[in-house]
Chains A and B, each alone.
Chain A
């Protein structure tokens, strides 16, 4: 036996004392000190591990583990006992196996369907007092986007706020009166003053309709709540529609809002369509005319600063491409004196736009 063989055997044998007594191992161990050291080390190691393994576990652990057996056995006995005494109940449960779940599922599904149907049904009770109007609160309109806000600011109409006296008048409407005149429409959105007559013409029942000195918001919805059948009637002439087919403010309407007063007046002469339910406003006919008119008006309108810039461009002979004009670049290239640069600088968010029509140049402000 050599050292390697002995080393391998030392690691595998279970009883080292017996192994060391075998003739082959004993013969090798007599002559090899390293293997003797290895055997001694192995014996010490095993004794050390045995000592660790024999270290007692905490005393309360023994008590807990001893209780496991009794507890588990008593539970098992209880199960057996309950299964014997409660056999009729078990049979009943067995016969109903699956049944309660089916019933519960069917009931739940029916309830869900009923809830959906109830929620989908229109409200049949009359709206006695609309909270926003009755309390004189301002009807909030979805905030327009950045460009829309600018366009609205440019328009010459009045503020969005309703007249306080009208609000108070509205607040004074008793629920009973409201109920009696249930065919009268409730103007919920901001109808402009000049729209009042249109509304009156459209709906003969609009005797109790209130007027609001509010801005005509393009794309804003004017709702007429006919509480007799509780449906929202769209004021088509006001560019509104029913909830179902509510259009967003179109470009044409935006252009209309931008148009100067005289153009607006011209456009307002367009006869309002009849109020109808569930029909979209006839923008297809009116819109092109409005757009053309507003474009024409815009062309007529000249900005003196823009004119000055146009003149500079024409006089300098610089050939700029159509689009936004970079004033800083012009100044850097020496076409624009710094004094003029400050004066010609457009308001924040806007830029001077160069438009070429044949040989003619047009410079106007445009939102960037």
Chain B
């Protein structure tokens, strides 16, 4: 029988160290990777991850139910936006997203099958770096943090439809980049 994160949280806030450890085991890696992929700075990612866990425990009484994952990633997202603003970053998450053309799958099945897991990870990493901040954050929240679309809408404080549009637009950009890179790999490997 698996214990839900919310139940673990109840124990952790009472001082159960094991529960706290499990919560870190569940969310520590994704939160760290979320910061790392968005900032490309190992130290900052570690600091921000620590800050997220410090905040959730300091404000443990503020969590009034719902999804623990959404709560944690909302804090993480707000910290990231604060950091971007502090470092003179442009205003993130604009409402008007440019339309991205939906293209058909440009890569054959055998080419995709030939891509190994490690190669795919490297390709994703390369493409994430090339994505714009809005799309990267959205993709990371959905595919790294594992948020569902309703959870994303909650974290990003936006309507469900807008969240869906954001994910679709971000995916179209990411897919186009990945396909391009896979085609290059195909030529390189002589597939």
Q: Is B84 in the interface zone, CB < 8 Å from A?
A: no
Q: Does A56 contact B (CB under 8 A)?
A: yes
Do A52 and B37 form a contact, CB below 8 Å, given A57-B32, A57-B46? yes
**Residues 94-138 of chain B, each 1 if its beta carbon lies under 8 Å from chain A, else 0:** 000000000011011100110101101101110000000000000
Does the CB pair B17–A66 fall under 8 Å? Answer: yes
Contacts of A53 in B (CB 8 A): 29-30, 33, 144-146
Closest Cβ of chain A: how far from B123's Cβ, in Å?
A: 7
Interface: B53 (CB within 8 A): yes
Tell me if B143 and A46 are in contact (CB < 8 A). yes
CA A51 – CA B24 in complex, angstroms? 17
Say whether B32 contacts A61, CB under 8 Å.
Answer: yes
State the majority secondary structure of interface residues on B: helix
**Which residue of A is nearest B167, CB measured?**
A11
In the complex, what residues of A have CB within 8 A of residue B107's CB? 37, 41
Bits for A65-90, please: 1 = Cβ < 8 Å to B, else 0: 11011101100000000000000000
B93 interface contact, C-beta 8 A: no
CB distance from A13 to the nearest CB of B (A): 11
Contact in complex: B112, A37 (CB < 8 Å)? yes
B104 proximity list for chain A (CB < 8 A)? 34
- Nearest CB of B to A183, in Å: 70
Interface assignment of A14: CB less than 8 Å from any CB of chain B: yes
Considering residues B46, B120, B145, which has the most beta carbons from chain A within 10 angstroms of its beta carbon?
B120
Instruction: Compute how far the CA of A132 lies from the CA of B57 in the bound complex, rounded to whole angstroms.
Output: 71
- Give Cα A213 to B107, complex, Å: 105
CB-nearest residue of chain A to B15: A73
Contact with A along B140-176 (1 / 0, CB 8 A): 0001111011000000000000000001100100010
A54 to B28, CA, bound (A): 10
Question: Could you tell me if A68 and B33 are in contact, using CB atoms closer than 8 angstroms?
Answer: no
Considering the chains assembled together, what is the distance between the CA atoms of A56 and B143 in angstroms? 16
Say yes or no for B20: interface residue by CB 8 A criterion. yes
Cα-based distance from A47 to B119 in the complex (angstroms): 11
The distance in angstroms between the C-alpha atoms of A66 and B12, with both chains bound, is 11
Say which residue of B12, B46, B50, B109 sits within 8 Å of A37 (CB atoms). B109
Q: Bound complex: CA of A45 vs CA of B54, how far in Å?
A: 32
B21 within 8 A of A: yes
Q: Is B49 an interface residue (CB 8 A)?
A: yes
Residue of A nearest to B32 (CB): A57
B8 interface contact, C-beta 8 A: no
Asked if A41 meets B29 with Cβ closer than 8 Å, knowing A48-B121, A51-B117, A69-B15, the reply is: no
B80 within 8 A of A: no
> Which residue of chain A lies nearest to B20 when distances are taken between CB atoms in the complex?
A69
CB pairs A–B below 8 angstroms (14 shown): A11-B171, A14-B148, A34-B104, A36-B109, A37-B109, A45-B120, A57-B29, A58-B32, A61-B32, A61-B46, A68-B53, A68-B57, A69-B15, A69-B57
Chain A residues proximal to chain B, CB less than 8 Å = 11-12, 14, 33-34, 36-38, 40-41, 44-49, 51-58, 60-62, 64-66, 68-70, 72-73
